[in-house]
Each structure stands twice: as structure tokens, then as C-alpha cells.
Amino acid sequence: MTLTLPEILALLGIFMLAGTVKGVIGLGLPTVSMGLLSLLMSPAQAAALLLMPSLVTNFWQLFTGPDVRALCRRLWPMMACVAMGTMLTTGTLTTGQNRLAPIALGVCLVVYALLGFSRFQWRLSPRAERRLGPLCGVLTGLITGATGVFVIPAVPYLNALGLARDDLVQALGLSFTVSTLALAAGLAWQHALPGALLGTSLLALLPALVGMWLGSVLRRHCRPAVFRRCFFIGLLVLGIEIVWNGIN
């Protein structure tokens, strides 16, 4: 994959924006980057480019939390199912079913945005968690493999567990890290992870980290609720645009 100078500048800008969003609200880097990159390239190429920024930033988020081992013991059934589901559907991004991938991506962005606007708070009992965790993991993995977006239904599910704020941020980091590793493995299995794309993905890491730093600064000077609302409005518009382009 050879990028022109305008495409490289667009790539750097996209990952800086995505990193800024993550720095302010704690998530959104793969969602924003996949949504915008899919306007410039195929979903498979976009998914490959987000691997390094997503892996490093989410690994960082995972290991700055309170107790990684306790969280892994609690969530391992879900995480195992995330990995399995992702491996099953990664071929959707790289084979003849590719035409459906942008539409599925757009639908995921729209659903995620609408959930973000909802004030409804789910709460799951420990018994329900044991039953629904693996199911949520499989569904998240299937959607991740097909679209490159990790958030549905993992984010609403983890929110419903009633975790403390720091534990929730760490749980999101765990889920996104597992999803990123599984997506990388799936793309490699499909021979869709050439060295050139990995090099470009590494290049995208720097603007993503700069964006996260900018986001942390913005978080201290703006109301996160307002930023979050603007974020979901942007995702909604972007998702509708991607679906429209995919249909037409």
C-alpha cells in the first residue's frame, strides 16, 4: 500500500483526532479511526493501520489500573469468546464479502452513537454476568472481525457490571487489547497484514499518543459531558454517511 503525501497527512490527522477523543473520554480511538479511514481505503486496510495505536494505547490503559489479575479472573470467559468470535469473522474484511463490511461498520457506529445518547443504565446481577459474559464476548468478537470496531456490545455490557470508574476504564482497556490482538491474528491468518501496513501503523502511533496528551489537557479545561455529546453526534453523522455510501 503506497500513500501519497495528502493521504499521509490525513492519516496523521485522523489518528491525532482519535487519540484526542480517547484522551478526553477514555475510549473512541478505534471507532473514530476506523470510521474516518474507511472513507479513504478498504476496511481491511483501515483495520490493519489502527493495530499499533490501538494496541499500545489500550495496553497502557490496561496496566495503569488497580488490579489486572483480579479483572482477568473475572472477565476471562468473555475475553476468550471475544478472541474466538473475532477469528471467525475476520475473513469478512478481506474476502468477497468485503462490500458488506462498510455497511456493517456504519451500522455499528450508528447503534453505538444512539446508545451513547441513551440515559438508560443497565445493571447486571452476578448470576446474569456469568450467563451473559460469554455471549457478549462472542457477539463482540463477531462484530470486531467483520467491521474492525470493538465497542458493540462490549462497552454497554461492561458499563452494566457496576464497576468503579477506575475498574471500568481498566476493563475497557482489557477488552480493547484482546480485541486488537485477535484482530491482528485474524488479519495475519488471512494474509492481510503485510509489513508495509505494519510500518504505517507504527507511524500512526505517534500522532495517536500526541492526541491522547492533548485530550488529557482538554479534559481539565472542558466539560466531558459536552465533549461526549459532540463525539456521539459526530459518530452518528459519520455512520449514516458510511451506510449511505455503501448502499449507493
**Would you state the cell numbers that stand for residue 145, as one nine-digit string?**
472481525
Stronger pLDDT, 97 or 185, i.e. the higher one: 185
**Closest to 246 in 3D by CA, of 147, 116, 122, 128:** 147
221 contacts 18 by C-beta, under 8 angstroms: no
The owner of cell 455499528 is 108
pLDDT value for 195? 77
Stronger pLDDT, 82 or 32, i.e. the higher one: 82
Domain extent, residue 168, equals: 5-247
pLDDT tens per residue, range 141-155: 998 998 888 888 898
The single-letter DSSP state of residue 98 is G
pLDDT tens per residue, range 95-109: 755 567 778 878 888
Burial class (CB in 10 A: 0-12, 13-18, 19+), 69: exposed
pLDDT tens per residue, range 163-176: 887 888 899 899 99
Tell how far CA 61 is from the center of its chain.
13
Longest dimension (CA), the chain: 54
Q: What is the pTM of this model?
A: 0.85
Rounded CA-CA distance 90/94 in Å is 7
Rounded CA-CA distance 79/60 in Å is 18
Position 67: which residue type? Answer: D
| pLDDT confidence band for 83 (50 / 70 / 90) | very high
Residue 110 vs residues 106, 140, 149, 236: alpha-carbon distances, Å = 6, 16, 12, 5
pLDDT tens per residue, range 35-66: 899 888 888 888 889 999 999 988 888 887 77
pLDDT value for 49? 92
pLDDT value for 38? 83
> How confident is the prediction for the chain on average, in pLDDT?
86
Rounded CA-CA distance 115/14 in Å is 23
The owner of cell 462484530 is 143
pLDDT value for 12? 93
Number of domains composing the chain:
1
Position 53: which residue type? Answer: P
Helices first, then strands: H and E counts in the chain: 12, 0
pLDDT value for 161? 92
